[in-house]
Amino acid sequence: MKLAYVEVAGFRGYRKAIRVDFCPGFNIVDGRNGVGKSTIFDAVEFALTGTLSKYDDAKAAGESVADYVWWRGRGKAPGDRYVEVGFVGSEGEHSIRRTPFETPDAAVLDRLSSALCDVEVAPVDNLVRLCAASIIRDEQIASLSLDLKETDRYVLLRDALGATNAETWIEKGQRLTNTAKSRLAQANADVSQLTSELGAAKRRLDDVEARIASEVVVGDAVSRLRDLTGSEESADALISVARRRLAELRAAVDQQRQLAAKRDQIDELRHALPDMAGAVESAQAALKDADHRLQAISQDLSGHGSVGLNNQARDIATLAALAGTIGLTDGACPVCKSAHTPEEFGRKIEELAQLARQLDARAAEIATLEEERRMVTVARDAAQLVFNARSNEHAAAVAQVDEFDRLSSSQVDFAVANLYADRDLASVAEAIERDMRILETMRVSDEFERAKKEAAVVDERLTRAQERAGTARRAVALAQSLHDAARRAAGETLDQRLERVLPLMSELYRRLKPHPHWRDIEYSIRGDVRKFLRLQVGENLNPQFIFSSGQRRATGLAFLLSVKLSLAWSKWKTIMLDDPVQHVDDFRTVHLAEVAAQLVRDGQQVICAVEDVALADLLSRRLPVLEMGDAKRISVAPDEEGDFSIQAQTLLSPLPQHVFRARSLDKVG
């Protein structure tokens, strides 16, 4: 199968619809940088895989290449957007189409995969790998070849060679190994768990056995319990009787402890009662004395008030002063109008002044008595408070002592106390509890038998689990050996294929002639599980560090071409070279043209994109054209509106095959 055409519209930089038809031999695509040559190669990969691998899932500002697959430039938006690629070969014609809203269905992809690949030996992602090997881009020539890590270089070549039958066995061996390891892990977990269970069962068995008492000890315990409980019940029934008596004893012991804890406090109160009673009497006497004093003062103040006497004394003193000032009026008193002699009038005025002074003195005495009554009232109220407090305190203490005496005579279970009157109740309770434990060992015997059976069952399960673990270990070893054997077989098979491919790499290197001194390059594979593909020239020299940029690119191109030609599972006879001659001089460009010419003669279709027009002319002259329609030159450039466009598609004419024609022999004579 070869590439027949590429048709795009609204894809990447192509706004308008274009169609490029390819010849089965070689095709030269020329045009300056940035006019859409690489986009034609992108269209082939996008049609086959739905993505562009050269961006390697790069993302920026939340965007990826998927956001820029379809036209986003200026100008009128295209009416339709699509990518369509056609293939032609002995199996007929096949095409595949993608749009922003439609992807090929599974049937189309399956038919195309069958046409381009031998699906029985091809890898799962065959179209992706086919594009990676067949579309050789400028940026891949260095990064995916000479500068590649030795392990990655080996993986690239291994994947290009395709699958082997051993890969299936390796996968099956891995699954068997994983399954066997999973079963072994489960068996080991079962063994660990059952070992823990057996240890716990044995510890329980030892504990039960240690609790079993002899018959003599049990008989003595029965005798003691009958004596302590006053019961003649059988040994089994005696346990219930002893349990009830033990509960009674514990209750009595608790009551005794509570009373003992409170007795000291009550004794202190009992001794303090006389003092409390004396304090009550003293407070009562002080209260009575205050009452008597208050009563006497009240009697002295009965009917009098200091304020009234003060007012009377002031009024009389004022009247005497006024009369003395006015004097007799016509021999008579100005107040009472009685006739008086001056001497009599003077005596009367003096008597009034004396009466005013007496009233004022009495008012002072009454004021003193009122202040004393207030103070006595305050003292009497304080004495009342003290009396009330002392009385309440004494009454509360008496109540507590009486309550304790009542509880002491009624709360304790006298039936139990009298039964063990001469013994300490706590000691009796401990003795009953100790003998009960001895009697309960009769029931432990049954428990011991059950524990023995449980331990035996766990031991048997552990034995079976250990047997399963042993079988699982043997299965893991066998599965691992099968897996290793499959890997060794796969490695040996792949090594045999590589031994046939490596000479092709060396041959392409010699034809491209990257270096004037080192005409040969060696490719060697080393490693057992992890493989390395090493490149070296001369005396174990690494070309990655001694070749120039152009020489490295030529070496890398030889490697990538050999990878493409090594695709044993590929039916696609197309090699697409996207600007392979950057940093490569004209001398090596001629070598590349000769290699491409040989590839075309061997049935390969070569599509090469170059930027230099002179180089395109050179390739057009150097590449062989045997028949019209075998080769084409395609020129890409912007149109008058600045859009990518195909400016020309020119078929290259065949080279002359005969210069002189010999005359027929019959005309020679």
DSSP notation for 138-169: HHHHIIIIITS-HHHHHHHHHHHH---HHHHH
Confidence of residue 607 (pLDDT cuts 50, 70, 90): very high
Q: Tell the residue number behind the tokens 């792949």, with chain if given.
A: 494
Say if residues 282 and 391 touch (Cβ distance below 8 Å): no
Q: What percent of the chain has pLDDT over 90?
A: 12
Mean pLDDT of 255-280: 80
CA–CA–CA angle 135, 139, 142 (5° rounding): 100
> When comparing pLDDT for 572 and 334, which is higher?
572
Which of 3, 48, 74 lies closest to 641 in space, CA to CA? 74
Mean pLDDT of 621-625: 77
Residue 669 pLDDT exceeds 50: no
pLDDT, mean over the chain = 79
> When comparing pLDDT for 454 and 23, which is higher?
23
Q: Return the amino acid letter for 535.
A: L
> When comparing pLDDT for 236 and 428, which is higher?
428
Cα separation, 140 vs 613, whole angstroms: 23
pLDDT the model gives residue 663: 53
Decide: helix, strand or coil at residue 190. Answer: helix
pLDDT the model gives residue 662: 55
Alpha helices per DSSP H over 57-145: 106-116, 126-134, 138-141
Residue 654 pLDDT exceeds 70: yes
Residue 195 pLDDT exceeds 60: yes
Residue 305 pLDDT exceeds 60: no
Residue 254 burial by Cβ neighbours in a 10 Å radius (0-12, 13-18, 19+): exposed
Say if residues 481 and 539 touch (Cβ distance below 8 Å): no
**Residue-wise pLDDT tens digits, 12-26:** 889 999 999 999 998
What are the strands of the beta sheet with 631-638, ordered from one edge? 135-137, 574-578, 605-610, 26-30, 631-638, 644-651
Long-range pairs for 461-466: beta carbons < 8 A, 24 or more residues apart:
461/194, 462/191, 462/194, 462/195, 462/197, 462/198, 465/187, 465/190, 465/191, 465/194, 466/191
Per 3-state DSSP, the chain is made up of helix, strand and coil in percentages (nearest 5) of 65, 15, 25
Residue 416 pLDDT exceeds 60: no
Q: Return the amino acid letter for 190.
A: D
Say if residues 657 and 57 touch (Cβ distance below 8 Å): no
Residue 198 pLDDT exceeds 90: no
Cα separation, 264 vs 261, whole angstroms: 7
Mean pLDDT of 214-241: 74
Say if residues 412 and 256 touch (Cβ distance below 8 Å): yes
Q: Return the amino acid letter for 347.
A: R
pLDDT the model gives residue 665: 45
**Residue-wise pLDDT tens digits, 356-374:** 777 777 777 777 777 777 8
Cα separation, 430 vs 411, whole angstroms: 22
E strand or H helix at 650: strand 644-651
